[in-house]
Structure 1
Amino acid sequence: MTQKKLPEWVPSSGLQLHLTGIHFDAIRLRGVRGEAVVHHLSALTDGDPGPVVREIAGARWTYLLLEPGAGQDFDWPPGAKCFGPAVRDQYVGIPAAHGNTYPLSWRCGAPEDGDFVDAELLHGVVTAQLVSEK
């Protein structure tokens, strides 16, 4: 059994804050909306939407991690906050692949090196969800 190669920005234990726009951009969604988006992305990607960090306490934020710089290519609708190189001093907590990482966890397992959420597909899902809520 081969172990997947984790990106350098995934800590070996616990949690670590990372400045967005360097290793990844992030799109943040709150609560049920975030879970619904991940559910739809999973259906469209055969269960592999890419790296998704979820907060299991508080506001229950979902962070979908994109390639660095990819988030700024889209006009994100209200409720979807883009953290990337154009936003100054924004950090996202990254959990380790295993162990106690409360209150953060990987929604679909820790990513392999080079894995990211498809920004165009994510934008389409978030936009379609917003239209269906109206």
Structure 2
Amino acid sequence: MNTQSELTWLPESGIQLRKAGVRFDAIRVDGERGRDIADWLARMTGGDPGPIVETATGRRGVYFLVPVGSTSHRAWPAGVTRFVAGPGHVSYIPVPALNDLTWPLSWRYRPTAPDRLVHTRLLCTALHSQG
């Protein structure tokens, strides 16, 4: 695992919002479906699916951090929320620190490298096939 200093987009403590379209975009899938998809991706990638954040309250959303611009021109199934930036539109993605109390956010799968993100095509395929 890389050190905190190599993962400059992570907050040092607590939780921060990161603007979509700068370092990454995100796909949110709520509830157990999101957790199931995250675990399926981990199995398909040898335990390193890329950074995935989960919430313990409300919709219990699971945020898959994906490369900027990679969510467009794809048919996403119902129940998926895209966090992207564009003309007249800004989205913010919640990001917890690696080693701090960040409830209700936590890392389901922690980031492992500065530029390692969830593979968008694999995520889209999993969402369609795992329904």
TM-score by length of 1: 0.89
1:42-80 deviations in Å (ceiling 9; x for gaps):
110011110001001221100000011111131211111
* Structure 1 residue aligned with 2:60: 60
Whole-angstrom distance in 2 between the partners of 1:118 and 1:63: 13
The one-letter amino acid paired with 1:20 is: A
Matched, 1:112 2:113: yes
Alpha-carbon offset, residue 2 of structure 1: 6.7
Distance, in Å, in 1 between the alignment partners of 2:52 and 2:2 is 22
* Cα 1:124–1:94 shift into 2, 3 Å: same
8 Å contact kept, 1:5–1:112:
no
Give the Cα–Cα distance (whole angstroms) in 1 for the partners of residues 64 and 82 of structure 2.
10
CA distance in 1, matches of 2:60, 2:92: 16
Residue 129 of structure 1: CA displacement?
A: 1.5
Q: Look up the match of 2:16.
A: 16
Alignment of 1:1-134 (within 5 A): 3=3, 6-86=6-86, 88-130=89-131
State the aligned residue count. 130
TM-score, length-scaled by structure 2: 0.90
Question: In structure 1, what is the Cα distance between the partners aligned to 2:52 and 2:121?
Answer: 16
Secondary structure at the aligned position of 1:43 is classed as: helix
List alignment gaps of at least 5 residues for structure 1. Answer: none
Q: Which region of structure 1 is more displaced relative to structure 2, 59-68 or 74-83?
A: 74-83
Kindly report the root-mean-square deviation, in angstroms, between the aligned alpha carbons of the 2 structures: 1.8
Match of 1:72, SS state, is coil
Identical aligned residues as a percent:
35
* Secondary structure of the corresponding residue to residue 62 of structure 1: strand
Is 2:84–2:90's contact at 8 Å kept on the other side of the alignment? no
Consecutive unaligned residues of structure 2, counting only runs of 5 or more, are none
Which letter does structure 1 place at the counterpart of 2:69? Answer: G
